[in-house]
Amino acid sequence: MIIPALYERQKQRGGYLTHADMQSVAEDLGVPMHRVNALVTFFPHFSTEPPPKVEVHVCRDMSCHLNGAVPMTEGLQKWAREKHGEQVEVCGVSCLGRCDRAPAAMVNEQLIASGKTEDLQAAVDAIVEGKTPQVDTDWELAKDKVGKWEMDIYAGKGRYEIVRDYVSGGGDPDKVLAALENAGLLGMGGAGGRAYLKWGDVMRAEGTTGEKFIVCNADESEPGTFKDREILLAAPYLTIEGMIVAALVTGATRGWIYIRHEYPEQIEKCREEIARAVKLNACGRNIFGSSHHFELDVFASPGGYICGEQTALIEAMEDKRAEPRNRPPELMTNGLYDQPTLLSNVETFAWAPAILKDGGDWFAQQGIKEGPLTTGSGPRMKGKRLFSISGDLTRPGVYEVPTGITLGDLIDEHCGGMKDGKEIAAVALSGPSGGLLPNQIPVKYLSRRFVEANVPDGVTEISVRDLPLDINVSRAVGYMLGAGIVVYGEGCNVLAEALANCRFYRNESCGKCVPCRIGSQKITEMAERLLAGEVSLEEFASFEPVAMQLSGVMQATSICGLGQVASNPLQSFLKYFPDLAQQACRKESPRAS
């Protein structure tokens, strides 16, 4: 693979690539130079310029933005320029996956997640002086989770008994699929597809070479989302065992855990656990003395939010620019190297051992079936799941909860309530992709069937706290539910937060399709004008319809999910916060010159 080779060459060079380095990679791998150059110019992790002595990357998204990342970055830039000159570069970057310690930063790719300017300054000074800086680790938080989740059937002890039982019992793929169906396991990456159907599709697919692959998407670059970060440190063996079982069921012989490069601890931990699995004979050649083979490795992402889109991820693994594919065909039949590929999220694979332990019976009994706003919303999602939740909370973090728990119960029972007793101003239930919901949601924006079954006559609003965190309910009601939740407390500038989310999508668009490339820029410009007070009340009458029309075009014509949701931050603000939108407008039109 070209990308790992470039990684190694850049590391040897000291953080950048020369033309000679790129040419050497091309010659060693027998590929044309233009393919190497295409990757280096596309992925943000590669550089062709020598880096400064110290690089400071401060997250600027969602919880970090809410907690003052932008003014902190500007202050650090001024300080670094005056004290260290060109030796130090400070810049804002997209989400680093440490939203529970906002604002988070990395100094020379080492984590500083204290949220304090003085800690970043001390780290910079130390490196400039040739000393070792004081840094944070993800393990500090993950170690308290070891053996504590019900997901972890080994309670931190033992490994790979589900794989052993499958092999020693003769291996019945249909029995595994039946357990997944009984459990009602859905994809935990956001799409919520039924796991047993995806596994079955790959099992029945016939590739042209006889090869099949298993890929775990651990890119986790969605702002507000950091649960996979915890799983890969506290219980990597669960995800790995889920992948091995999936390989045995589908007939796959090779697999990769695709991890974002900002997670160095997780990359190292997974490599260590894979080596342990091989030593235990649970992975590799002749698994537990059988004729089954499955080789597993880690693929470090070269960066870019777009790599979280499943087809773009596969493109990157094929040493191509991570530009989403047109679908169909689907990955289950035409995935990596055009062969059948099962690609799922970290948590989806990690639940497999707990489900297969008893045929899915325990998992199927989990979940909250009744509560506010659940009548008439269709079948409830079964099981438990992990949520990343951050923002204006007393205890942001990763929590394992029953599906269907309400947002209010998650905040109060697990997060210790709102920070400083604030009221909710807005909530993002799916990172930036679902937009922002208000504290009180107007009933007129909910589905008619849901309202008729749940809302008494005369009630015009429902509390966002009463929303069940259940994918099936969210679809019935009409809101998006992902794995990352960000709660904004009263006193924040909701429009400024919506604009920050617009900028995220504008910055992260791969540029392949026009609706996303141009539309995300236009949406951002509109939000910037509104925040700057450049839109008059008179103009606003046409401003809103234009934004909604542009949003509709982007949703209907963009190739991948990024372009389809890029307008949601502004669209939801205009929809759910009309008073704030009008307050941002000038009261009078500018005088004609």
Domains of the chain plus CATH, in order, are 2-42 (no CATH), 54-136 (3.40.30.10), 142-360 (3.40.50.11540), 366-492 (3.10.20.600), 494-593 (1.20.1440.230)
Q: What is the spatial distance between Cα 274 and Cα 125, in angstroms, rounded to a whole number?
A: 38
DSSP state of 377: S
Largest CA distance in the chain: 85
- Residue whose C-alpha is closest to residue 240's, from 266, 260, 220: 266
Provide the pLDDT for residue 377.
61
Q: What is the spatial distance between Cα 504 and Cα 432, in angstroms, rounded to a whole number?
A: 9
The tokens for 455 are 């809302």
- pLDDT beyond 80 at 592: no
Provide the pLDDT for residue 191.
75
- pLDDT beyond 80 at 535: yes
- pLDDT beyond 80 at 373: no
The tokens for 4 are 């790992």
- pLDDT beyond 90 at 10: yes
Highest average pLDDT, of 190-194, 264-268, 538-542, comes from 264-268
Residue range 70-89, pLDDT digits in tens: 999 999 999 999 999 999 99
- pLDDT beyond 70 at 180: yes
The percentage of residues in the chain with a pLDDT greater than 70, rounded to a whole number, is: 98
**Average pLDDT of 505-513?**
93
**Average pLDDT of 394-402?**
97
Q: What is the dihedral angle through the alpha carbons of 124, 130, 135, 139, rounded to the nearest 10 degrees?
A: 150
**Average pLDDT of 157-170?**
93
> Which of the pair, 472 or 421, is modelled with greater confidence?
421
SS3 at position 438: strand
Provide the pLDDT for residue 593.
34
- Residue whose C-alpha is closest to residue 309's, from 292, 321, 295, 297: 321
Least-confidence region, from 111-115, 286-290, 344-348: 111-115
What is the average pLDDT score of the chain? 94
Q: What is the spatial distance between Cα 586 and Cα 567, in angstroms, rounded to a whole number?
A: 23
pLDDT category at 382 given cuts 50, 70, 90 is confident
Provide the pLDDT for residue 586.
81
Provide the pLDDT for residue 452.
85
DSSP state of 324: P
Whole-model pTM? 0.95
The percentage of residues in the chain with a pLDDT greater than 90, rounded to a whole number, is: 88
Q: At what angle do helices 236-250 and 195-204 cross, to 10 degrees?
A: 40
The tokens for 451 are 């309202």
**Average pLDDT of 346-364?**
97
